[in-house]
Amino acid sequence: MSRRSLPFLAFSFCCAQVFAQANGVRFVFPEFTKVYAEKSMWSSYQLGMGYDHDFNDRISMGLDMSIDLQRATEEGGQSIEVPYAGLIANYYSGDRLLSVTYRTAYAFSDNGETHLYVGSYFGFRSFKQTLELGYVSDPNGYSGNNGPFQQQVEAKKTLFPIGLRLGVRGSLEGGFADLYTQAGYNIGGGESAFSQAYFSGEDFDLSSMSFTLGLAYGFGW
């Protein structure tokens, strides 16, 4: 767990202790999130777990932590072509994403039963992308050297998503499910995580908008 998530966790558990009513633990799978500006949200799917808490029959809070599964499911990473200075570099990309999200919900009916809810969320996403150079080609023939391209490049970026959440959830008591969608703004998004000039293309821009669709299952008491 990232050390950055500790304040969120501490904050949430303190609130839960003060206003405790009903609690639950959830497992998030899958959760689709838009990461890159030029890619759809289906390109990144995550799993995670979280904590739910109902303050009363109307309002709730929760805290989720999830990780990106793309790296795990695509062995060797994705192949990306980077054209620059008359050359084309072929990089293998690997992404890692850790998300911690604090969320709230207002239930339009008693949250002790299946209900529609609306709420807000904010959190952070720790994004890390590693690019490993495969080869560099010259349209006029084999270049024989890597030109300006570095063999290995790593970029880290932290985004702060904030927005609204809409979903349908069952009662926390016993087993429950939650189907939800989130839409908002990614503070820190809208630009590439890389500083190198040859990575300034839109393919590397992180999305400034935050879209998520997810399904979670859990149990509560």
Partner 1 sequence: MRTLTSAEFLPAAFIGTCALLLTGCASLLNKGNQSMLINSAPAGALVFENGAEVGTTPYTYTYDRTDGLAVNLELRKEGHENRIFELRPAKKNAILLADALLFNIPYYAGDAKSTALYSFPQKEFAVNLYRSLPGEVQKSDLPVVTLENKLPAGSTVGKHGSVKLTTSSKEVADLDFPDQLTSSILSAMHGTYVESRSARLATQKGEEAVRRAKVYLKPVLKALDMRLTSLDRRAYGTVETEMEWRFMSGIDKDSLLFSYAKRTTFPVFAEPVREVLGAALKDAGRQLLDEPDLRERLGKVFDTGLVRSKGEHVGLTTPTPISFTGRKDMLAALVKGVVTIETKSGHGSGFLITNDGYLVTNAHVVEDQATVKVRFEQGFTLDGQVTKVNRDFDVALVKVSGNDLPALSIGNDGALQLGEELFAIGTPLDKELGQTVTRGIMSGKREFEGRSYLQTDVSINAGNSGGPLIDETGKVVGVATLKIAQSGVQGIGFGVPISKALEMLNIGFDQ
**Residue 187 within binding range of partner 1, rule CB under 8 A:** yes
Tell me how crowded residue 27 is: count the other CB atoms within 10 A of its CB: 14
Q: Which two tokens stand for residue 128?
A: 């890390």
Shortest Å distance, C-beta 183 to partner 1: 13
What whole-number distance in Å separates Cα of residue 130 and Cα of residue 94? 5
Q: Select the span of 104-112, 130-138, 170-178, 192-200 touching partner 1 (CB under 8 A).
A: 104-112
What whole-number distance in Å separates Cα of residue 168 and Cα of residue 83? 45
**Residue 194 within binding range of partner 1, rule CB under 8 A:** no
**Residue 59 within binding range of partner 1, rule CB under 8 A:** yes
- What are the DSSP calls for 50-64, one per residue? EEEEESSSSEEEEEE
Q: Select the span of 81-89, 105-113, 127-135, 147-155 touching partner 1 (CB under 8 A).
A: 105-113
**Residue 189 within binding range of partner 1, rule CB under 8 A:** yes
Query: Which residue, 3, 24, 188, 190, is CA-closest to 103?
Result: 24
**Residue 119 within binding range of partner 1, rule CB under 8 A:** yes
Query: Which residue, 21, 26, 61, is CA-closest to 47?
Result: 26
Interface residue with partner 1, options 29, 84, 92, 185 (CB under 8 A): 185
Q: Select the span of 22-30, 43-51, 88-96, 112-120 touching partner 1 (CB under 8 A).
A: 112-120
**Residue 61 within binding range of partner 1, rule CB under 8 A:** yes
**Residue 122 within binding range of partner 1, rule CB under 8 A:** yes
Shortest Å distance, C-beta 72 to partner 1: 30
Interface residue with partner 1, options 27, 29, 55, 194 (CB under 8 A): 55
Q: Between residues 21 and 143, which has the closer beta carbon with respect to partner 1? A: 21
Q: Quick check: 36 and 20 in contact, CB under 8 A?
A: no
**Residue 181 within binding range of partner 1, rule CB under 8 A:** no
**Residue 13 within binding range of partner 1, rule CB under 8 A:** no
**Residue 162 within binding range of partner 1, rule CB under 8 A:** yes
Q: Quick check: 26 and 218 in contact, CB under 8 A?
A: yes
Interface residues toward partner 1, by CB under 8 A: 15, 18-19, 55-56, 58-61, 102, 104-106, 109, 118-122, 162, 164, 185, 187-190, 208
